[in-house]
Amino acid sequence: MNSFNVEQIRNDFPILKREARQGVCVIYLDSTATSQKPVQVIEAMNDYYRRSNANIHRGVHTLAEEATTLYEGARERIAKFINAASSREVIYTRNTTESINLVAYSWARANLKAGDLVILTEMEHHSNLVPWHMLQMERGIELDFIPVTEDGLLDLEAYKSLLDRRPKLVSFTHMSNVLGTINPADEIIRLAHDAGAITLVDGAQSVPHLSVDVQALDADFYAFSAHKMCGPTGIGVLYGKSALLDAMPPFLGGGDMIKEVKLRSFRANSLPHKFEAGTPAIAEAVGFGAAVDYLSAIGMERIAAYEHEITEYALDRLEEVPGVKLFGPSADKKGGVAAFTLDGVHPHDVAQILDQDGIAVRAGHHCAQPLHEKFGIPATSRASFYLYNTKDEVDMLVNGIYKVKEMFG
Ligand code: PLP
């Protein structure tokens, strides 16, 4: 394995060179919310608009063909990146949230009835809670939750008991955006299948940071967003096994998702177009493809190993600070997320004071309000790490927290 050259990687991210305010560089510790973009992605999108812009699939002219090739080429590379059996199984959506909603609107409304059980977990992002609340209100499905233990892990024994109730769907996050917990997705899926359930994995935080193989996991559905993995906003993916996707009714109606339209009827297109109504985010797909190329060239194993090193260092350093309480498991069970509280200081104040030194962390419930309630707190400050962060930046974060403590006496 070549050594991981973080300085070289940082050179690819122009934004990391800008000042947050005069004389203060940006220290970006908020990649869990969205990642920064390398010049390779920015240029690919620029080039697309400068050279190839046209609508896809419908034209025979050179630009339309070129745009279609770029759009579909990106899909091929994304399919390979997650080891999908075919690019037909990769549906472009707007983001993880829309991918989960697609399953809730199409698969779930065709397959679930009143009283059917959907299992979620207590550590879900609102994106994997609210679509199911909505279905519960509309259909009377039942929801239950795999509990989270004090140290931020899923209680798998409790999960096994829940499975005795024969759920129809188990939908869970592969990696928590608050605790950083990397859940044992393979085991959760195997147990769900043994109980006759379909699985949906929220991969918003896992695909950017881990090597994900949807076939090895045997996931039925897997959702993720480009913007958290060095790609642009406005595009995400729903992976689904083709047998499931083929059997599902379309979600949105309109152009591109049809094979034929009559005045009083239509025939849906084949996969993956069946779920892509209207002019899609073409430049964003091109950028997504470039992001996948970028991450693949570095290697997801190397990225994960580097992030592990930074996370371990960050947790050790943060633990040293009196009054800091960290949430989530130890570094060996989590990705690059450090959510914490500081005694006597509101998380928003922590974030605001850190910002004076250019340090970008997030404060709030991070769209995981029930999880915060479980831990009896309204909010946390959250620092998160990606391939471009350094130990020096962790040190600056820790120094910044000491400064906050001084200010609050
Ligand atoms: N799920 C998890 C675990 C997340 O962290 C996020 C975003 O932070 C989402 C879902 C929603 O992602 P998006 O806003 O890209 O739809």
Give me the amino acid identity at 290.
Answer: A
Cα(235)–Cα(173) distance, integer angstroms: 19
Domain assignment present for 35: no
Whether residue 312 sits in one domain with residue 176 = no
| 51 domain-assigned | yes
State the total domains in the chain: 2
Q: Is 276 left (phi over 0), alpha (psi -120 to 50) or beta?
A: beta
CATH code of the domain containing 267 = 3.40.640.10
Q: At what angle do helices 391-407 and 347-356 cross, to 10 degrees?
A: 120
98 within domain boundaries: yes
Same structural domain, 73 and 170: yes
Same domain, yes or no: 128 and 212: yes
The pLDDT, as a whole number, for residue 1 is 45
For ligand 1, whether the C-beta of 181 sits within 6 Å is: no
Q: What is the pLDDT of residues 77-110, one digit of tens each?
A: 999 999 999 999 999 999 999 999 999 999 999 9
Q: Give the whole-angstrom CA distance, residue 350 versus residue 365.
A: 14
Range of the domain at 202: 43-297
Q: Is residue 38 in a domain?
A: no
241-289 pLDDT, tens digit per residue, is 999 999 999 999 998 899 999 999 999 999 999 999 999 999 999 999 9
Q: Which atom of ligand 1 is nearest to the CA of 367?
A: 8
CATH assignment at residue 320: 3.90.1150.10
Please tell me whether residues 129 and 65 are part of one structural domain: yes
Mean pLDDT split into 10-residue runs, the chain, 409 residues: 84 95 92 98 98 91 97 98 98 98 98 98 98 98 98 98 98 98 98 98 98 98 98 98 98 93 96 97 98 98 97 98 98 98 97 96 96 95 98 98 94
Given the CA of residue 227, which atom of ligand 1 is nearest to it?
A: 15
> Are 305 and 163 members of one domain?
no
| 213 and 230 co-located in one domain | yes
Give the three-state DSSP class for 29: coil
Q: Is 238 in contact with 103 (CB distance < 8 Å)?
A: yes
Q: What is the pLDDT of residue 62?
A: 96
Nearest-atom number in ligand 1 for the CA of 177 is 5
- Ligand 1 centre from 97 Cα, in Å? 6
Residues 210, 206: Cα–Cα separation, whole Å: 5
Cβ(177) – ligand 1 distance below 6 Å = yes
CA atoms within 13 A on the CB side of 319: 11
| Same domain, yes or no: 288 and 347 | no
Q: Does 36 fall in a domain?
A: no
Q: Of 250, 276, 297, at which residue does a domain stop?
A: 297
d(CA 33, CA 89): 26
Query: Do both 260 and 146 map to the same domain?
Result: yes
Q: Percent of the chain at pLDDT above 90? A: 96
Q: How far is the CA of 285 from the centre of ligand 1 (A)?
A: 18
Domain boundary among 297, 314, 347: 297
- Looking at 364, 367, 369, 408, which residue is catalytic? 367
Q: Which residue has the tokens 């991969």?
A: 203
The pLDDT score that the predictor gives to residue 3 is 73
Per the CB < 8 A criterion, the answer to whether 240 and 274 are in contact is: no
Does ligand 1 come within 6 angstroms of the Cβ of 171? no
pTM of the entire structure?
0.97
Q: Give, in degrees to the nearest 5, the angle at Cα 112 between 108 and 116.
A: 130
- The b/e string for 252-291 (b: 16+ C-beta within 10 A; e otherwise) is eeebbbbeeeeeeeeebbebbbbbbbeebbbbbbbbbbbb
Pocket lining: 97 vs ligand 1, CB cutoff 6 Å: yes
Please give the C-alpha separations between residue 394 and each of 27, 77, 317, in angstroms, as whole numbers: 9, 33, 8
Asked if the structure places residue 75 within a domain, the reply is: yes
Q: Give the ranges where 15-103 is alpha helix by DSSP (H).
A: 39-47, 62-81, 96-102
Residues 267 and 165 grouped into a single domain: yes
Query: Is residue 206 situated within a structural domain?
Result: yes
Distance in angstroms (rounded) separating the CA atoms of residues 265 and 244: 23
Q: What share of the chain is helix, strand, coil (3-state, %, to 5)?
A: 45, 20, 35
Residues 286, 160 share a domain = yes
Q: Which pLDDT does position 296 carry in this prediction?
A: 98
In this structure, the answer to whether residues 152 and 284 fall within a common structural domain is: yes
Which pair of structure tokens corresponds to residue 350? 């922590």
pLDDT at 22: 85
- Tell me phi and psi for residue 123, to 5 degrees: -105, 20
Residue 30 DSSP one-character state: B
Domain boundary among 277, 297, 317: 297
Q: By C-alpha distance, which of 275, 237, 281 is closest to 253?
A: 275
Is ligand 1 within 6 A of the CB of residue 35?
A: no
Using most ligand atoms within 8 A of CB, pick from 30, 206, 225 the residue to mutate for ligand 1: 225
96 CA from centroid of ligand 1 (Å): 6
Best mutation site among 177, 207, 233 for ligand 1 pocket (most ligand atoms within 8 Å of CB): 177
Compute the distance from residue 341 Cα to the ligand 1 centre, in Å.
22
In the reported structure, the alpha carbon of residue 100 is separated from the centroid of ligand 1 by a whole-number distance in angstroms of 10
**Residue 1, in any domain of the structure:** no
72 with 12, same domain: the answer is no
Q: Determine contact, residues 175/32, Cβ cutoff 8 Å.
A: no
Cβ contacts of 140 within 8 Å, gap of 6 or more: 114, 115
β-strands 27-28, 236-240: how paired? unpaired
* Ligand 1 nearest-atom number relative to CA 99: 16
367 is catalytic: yes
